[in-house]
Amino acid sequence: MIRLVAGIVLAVVLAIGIFVMVLEMGSFDIPLAELEAKYKTDQSQFADIDGMRVHYYDQGPKDAPALVMLHASYMHLRTFDVIAKPLSEKYRVVRFDFPTAGLTGHDPKERYSIELNIMVLDELTKKLGIEKFAMLGTSSGGPVAFRFAADHPDRVTRMILINAAGMPRTAVTNPYRPRGTAIGRWFI
């Protein structure tokens, strides 16, 4: 009986390891061109920012006060469709996909961090000629908003935070910390 259980456990561990390895190799990834063909809209625009092709929408009157919307992790700019439409009647509403979200794709330099998202926000608004703007940040878009505001208080007119992340980073609260056991991380 013990051999049977040990054999089943070993088989499950090997299967999980193989599955994770296949995931890491990108075997289930959908090419960005295919995603773009399916999800790009008439509103879609793209800007080259430090080697990344950043997908964004720029809606509403260009001379109106600007509002930049920052989405949460595992979301994309279309998250705000319902509220962006009425807001764009009175405001210039800009929203973009963070790197690896929506149609923006990966950063060729593999610099995934809040700092990268802040840089994209800064560079995109400059490219669009927006000097001052309000920000709406939800969940993990919140720290991007409040850290940008802390670094550039002269550029931010208002800030709206919805369910924003932002605990001080410690070894325990850092979302990018290694997780699990050393063996689990080896499999991943």
> What is residue 173's predicted lDDT score, i.e. its pLDDT?
66
At position 37, the amino acid (one-letter code) is: A
Q: Which residues of 56-89 are buried (b: 16+ CB within 10 A; e: fewer)?
A: bbbbbeeeeebbbbbbbeebbbbbbeeebeebbe
Both structure tokens of 109: 């330099």
Q: Which fold has domain 31-178?
A: Rossmann fold (3.40.50)
Using CA atoms, how far residue 101 sits from 25, 63, 71, 75, in Å, is: 19, 29, 9, 7
Q: Over its length of 188 residues, how does the chain's per-residue pLDDT go in tens digits?
A: 888 878 888 888 888 887 777 666 666 677 878 888 888 999 999 999 999 999 999 999 999 999 999 999 989 999 999 999 999 999 999 999 999 899 998 888 988 899 999 999 999 999 999 999 999 999 999 999 999 999 999 999 999 998 887 766 677 767 677 777 878 777 76
Beta carbons of 143 and 117 less than 8 angstroms apart: no
> What is residue 93's predicted lDDT score, i.e. its pLDDT?
98
Runs of H (alpha helix) within the chain: 2-24, 32-39, 81-87, 114-127, 141-151, 182-187
> What is residue 171's predicted lDDT score, i.e. its pLDDT?
76
Q: Strand 133-138 relative to strand 66-70: parallel, antiparallel, unpaired? A: parallel
> What is residue 163's predicted lDDT score, i.e. its pLDDT?
83
First-to-final CA distance of the chain: 30
> What is residue 25's predicted lDDT score, i.e. its pLDDT?
63
Distance CA 111, CA 108 (A): 8
Both structure tokens of 135: 């920000």
> What is residue 168's predicted lDDT score, i.e. its pLDDT?
63
Runs of H (alpha helix) within 88-165: 114-127, 141-151
